[in-house]
Amino acid sequence: MNPICGDQEFNDQMARLNTLYRGCDAQWVAIKAQKEHTDAFGDPISSGHLYYGRKTGFHETIRLSRKSMEMFLSCFFENNAWLSHITEHLLKEQREMARKKFDQIEPSFVRRRLNRIMRSGDGIFRKRSV
């Protein structure tokens, strides 16, 4: 078992994990630590570093460092073909729903919004002087 994975694999596994929590406010999210913490497995989280949190109650949050989250994901998904199949199916379903919603957006709305952004000169659509 190799718990240390690349960013793309890690992000894919996080997306698959969060499909199990869709429709509720208890998904795992990346949070920048404001102070030092200790995660659920005793691993230190330094101030300013990212950790992964999930609300479990009104004031309660489970905190996992990147290292601990990688180990958790590895244990959770490794050699579990059924769970991998279910999460892949849910993720595909979510993407299809998002694509359908995007396709329902009126094209003129998108054009108007892009034109407004381009006229303002803000964002990535800055006008270039020739």
Cβ count near 21 (within 10 Å): 12
93-110 pLDDT, tens digit per residue, is 888 888 888 777 767 777
Higher pLDDT, 106 or 31: 31
Helix (H, G, I), strand (E, B) or coil at 20: coil
Kindly report the number of other CB atoms within 10 A of residue 70's CB atom.
19
- Global pTM value: 0.65
What pLDDT is stored for residue 122 in this prediction?
Answer: 53
More confident residue, 2 or 81: 81
- The answer to whether 16 and 88 have CB atoms below 8 angstroms apart is yes
Domain locations in the chain as residue ranges: 1-79, 80-130
* Residue 33 near residue 47 (C-beta atoms within 8 A): yes
